Structure 1
């Protein structure tokens, strides 16, 4: 058992969005560590079967202030992952605002009222927009370019404001393109890795919007979960924001070829029209702050992570999942 896991035994913990990809993996780790975990999820994108045995599941939304207050009152620590994703947020900005900002405010108000030990807010590297320099530091200029990025930054700012104004212990982690086992390709909102796996395994061309040289920093889910757990227990994390990535830049073309190697199949790249949603050209984050203050370092390389993900993908029977449009994330 790793050091962060030893800190959660017997604690009552609320995980919002715990039926989702990262939330489900976080919940599993917490349960394995001996925590008493309650999951709140509206199953908009999550699936109940993602929640491990041993966790209590409440189907509901963070937009329900009364329910949120009841659940927060029964727990001493909150991991807040519930959110609409980039595609749903772009389709319905009003719902995005209600969930990603309004829901976050509900969680923070309840946490303040009930004096929880800490709230860990999971943000997104999308808040940087098109960066002025690479790699991106936490204090670099923020230019969110989508409704999703705007709302995730808004939730993050609320978390920091509650720390500064009310003394509520909070910590924020900005995820950079998390992937790995558990990211189901039958979910229409899944990431590019899962979609590429489906098409590559089926022998279909991998459709890439634009020239494929747009780049991202791909983070294996176990590494993201470990950083999130450390943000809940490290004393120096209070009131801080941390990039969670690898510091390594990978083009979408490079990712597609790496997935072919992971499956041991040839891949054909098909470049199609660029979309407005794919408006960020380069993104790779600086993780030195997390190394220093969380004492966290990512352990899984892209090649290893893709190999593990491909093995899970085939073993879980997702090889015939319907393909969906791809995006860099």
Structure 2
């Protein structure tokens, strides 16, 4: 994978002897000059922003490999248990209290949905709908959530104490999965041709590489006009795990989950911009049912501590 500024390609950091750990990234800023940013491998995911942000002062950075540090739980075999735990516990209130802005956006979006009285597909709840709308509509929440996802997968303790979006992550993941079930039941097309633009970034990946974004990626329907681009990387992709979310957004969008794998099947590089064609290639998750494991770990600690106290008491 290579990320280039206007003149320079991605190079090994000469100050890092471990060439597989440290890389130099050159990003173009609004004045079209190259901006040098030094990051360890696996940290580029911190600022993955959808092009819908349209903020020229923000450099878009992405780790376009398998995004190994991304929190990618699919909740396989435990979705119902996790939802019950989230609804019964203090997770939601703690999540809202962590940010006044997030709380305001969530409450306003929830109120809007109640006033609209829209029917929801399949087993989706208003909470699923609000989660999608909040993520797609608010740039600040989008950025904070993306940053949190990029750094939550280090350890169980890191997930427990640092990842403050457990509620939003679950309901976004569950919403995509429920929408996919609805698509299958209607016997609609299972895959979608979509596109996504990263402005101010030149990104390269070899044909045949297997990659994933490691974030919830908002995409739009692929168009022929998309080939006319400049100063950006354009992805055109066939997603078979993403779901249309136009009922929860102001525009036609397909939301791609962080665990979907893609194969690079074609690529074109030009001074005015790069183009990568991606084909869905299954899915991959490092984590599964992490919230339940966190609870089990806490119970184990309490039991162990209780046994140790009892043993000390017996010795006395």
Sort the TM-score into its range (normalised by shorter chain): under 0.3
Relative contact order (alpha carbons < 8 A, sep ≥ 6): 1 or 2 greater? 2
Q: Highest Rg: 1 or 2?
A: 2
TM-score scaled to structure 1, two decimals?
Answer: 0.25
Higher strand residue share: 2
